[in-house]
Structures are given as structure tokens and as C-alpha cells.
Amino acid sequence: MTTRRTALKSLGGAAVCGFAAQLAFPALAQQRTTWKCVANHRNGASWSHRWPWLIDEVAKRSDGRLQLEVTTVPELGFSGQELLRALRSNLVDFSDIVAGFVAGEFPAIEAPQLAGVFGDYEATRKAVDAWSEKVLKHNEGMLGGRLFGSFNYNSVLLFSKFPIDSLDSLRGKKIRIFSVSLSDYVSALGGEPVSIPTADIYTALERGTLDGAIIGPDQVEGGRLYEVSKYLTNLHFGSSPGYNVISRRSWERLPDDLKRILDGIAPAFVQRGWEAGAENDRDGLAAAERRGMVVQRTIEDEWREPLQKIARDVVAARWAKRAGDQAKRDFNEVLAPIAGFTI
């Protein structure tokens, strides 16, 4: 017989057993329902500006009838790639989803995060909003449940031990990536993409098994990456948007009045999520400069055209092959006006 314990072990390994033991889903009671929730990590505003507020707001508006208990991907021993399956299986009730982490399983989710395509923060927000409404809300089976909202961790930058003097600077270098499209982008620049969890970046840079890592500026302080990298460079990777998803079974078990309460909370939670990304950018870049890192906030003018060509002819084209004909048609209808090109 398959239990939450055995299923979680198959998803994330023995490290999740302690959490799995707590995941016996409570029968819906009139007085109180407790949801098991998963955040990506506890660093920066993507945690502090969002999750404590949501926990309090849900408890307050529901008069304590709905409680959120939150753990994180590293605390579960997960990589983040398992979360769509965990939601579909109702092993967790509510979760942050990093689009790039799950793109191998659900390629369409990555469209607004395609490396180099939406380099501007505001353009990324427009792309995420449009894609959520027109595509993701109609793909709950793949998404793992009901789309609750979106957010942005931050802009995506390169932490490196070496300076970026030209677009050839990545050639032969081992660079941490966290999505398929970033892998395509780095490969097109001559780099060697390496996929490792956020929690392992510091050690890999320290030991030299990585030359650089693509991640957000919230990790300057949150991951202490200023200790193991000297340079922080904008290479037009774009942003790192994510989604909040409620397991379909968890949603269906809620009484209608609690569903209405959650629907009422969602817009403010989304707004806080996008504010958090901007805050992470601002605070992270300031911290990098304060810690003595060499920060390049904007890309060189002569890099724009070749990077845009990589985004269009390599990243977007390869994504379309992975995602399929319908996703390609959806991109051309929904996102092409924002991206400035069709596939």
C-alpha cells in the first residue's frame, strides 16, 4: 500500500521521512484544517515579505479554521523538481513552484522565464500574467492543481570568480544553471552548464567544482556567495518568476466560504510576491557592492544584439521543440507581442 511516507521517499529520498511522518492529511473538520506548505527557501524578501503575511492573513480571515504550516525545499531534502508530482499526489497542499526547476516535466511553464527573452522585470510581469491567464489556468493536470498566483524571486545574475570582459568569457567555464533554457543559453556562450541545488552552490564555488553560478542577488547575503565569488554580472538572463499552486484535492475538500477567503487573499499575495522580487534586487545588489563585489548592473551595448539572437534562435526555438506545437502557438499568440518576436 502506498502511503505519504513511501511516496515522499520516492520523490525526495530518506531525508524527507521526518516531514512525511507529519503529512497524514487530516479529515476535513468544521473547526480547523491544517495545510502542509512548501516554500523554496527562507532567504530574502521572497520569504519575509510573503510567507509570514500569508500565514497570518489566512488564519485571521478564516477565524483560525485554516492554518498553514510551512517547510522549505532544503528542509525536505528536495531539489524542487518533485513539487508538481507532490501536489498531484496530494503529498503537499500548497507550494511555491520555481518554473525552471519543473520545466523538464512541464516545459510550457517555462515560457515567461526563457533566458534572454524577457530581460526587463516589467516585461516579465506582463508575460507571467498573460501566460497564467491564457495557458497555465487551463493546464491544472500538468500544473499539479489550482493556480493561486505568481511571484518573482528576483532578476537572475551571474556570480563568478572571473571577470566578464566579453561574451567569450564563459567559454569552457562550469556554470551552475537551474533551468533547461539557462542551459541552452550558457551552452550557446561556450560555457558548461551544471545543475545543482541552491544549497550546494557555496561549497561548489568554494571547492572550484563551479566557476560561476546563475542565481538571484538575494543569495549575496542569504547564501553568503560574496565569500566565494568576486563578480556579479548582468548577462540579460531575465528574472526568476514562480507560481503558487494548491493541490486539487486540497482545494476540493475546502468548504466554499474558505475558498472565497483564499480567492480574496490571492491578489494581495501576488502583489507582495512581485514587490519581494524588486526588493531582493535592490537589497542584493547593494549588499554585493557593500561586500566589495564587482557589480555590473546592465549589459554592454555591444552584447545586446548577439544575446538577443541567442534568446530567439537558440533558447526559444529549442523550448518550442520541447514544449510542442500547441505551446508554440500559444507563445506566438500570447507572448510574442511582449517578447518582440515569433517562433
For 285-337, the pLDDT digits (tens) are: 999 999 999 999 998 899 999 999 999 999 999 999 999 999 999 999 999 99
% of the chain surpassing 70 pLDDT? 91
Global confidence as pTM? 0.84
**Does this chain's domain 4-153+240-284 share its CATH topology with 157-238+291-339?**
yes
**167-191: per-residue pLDDT in tens?**
999 999 999 999 899 999 999 999 9
**For residues 246-264, average pLDDT:** 97
In this predicted structure, what is the pLDDT of residue 8? 52
Mean pLDDT of 56-63: 97
Alpha-carbon distance of 321 to 333, in angstroms, equals 17
Contact indicator for 107, 262 with CB cutoff of 8 Å: no
Contact 66, 74 (CB under 8 A): no
How far apart, in whole angstroms, are the C-alpha atoms of residue 104 and residue 336? 22
CATH class of 157-238+291-339: alpha beta
Cell of 77: 531534502
% pLDDT > 90, the chain:
82
Domain ranges for the chain = 4-153+240-284, 157-238+291-339
* The CATH classification of domain 4-153+240-284, taken from the options 3.30.750.24, 3.40.50.300, 3.40.190.170, 3.40.50.2300: 3.40.190.170
d(CA 343, CA 330) in angstroms, rounded, equals 10
pLDDT category at 199 given cuts 50, 70, 90 is: confident
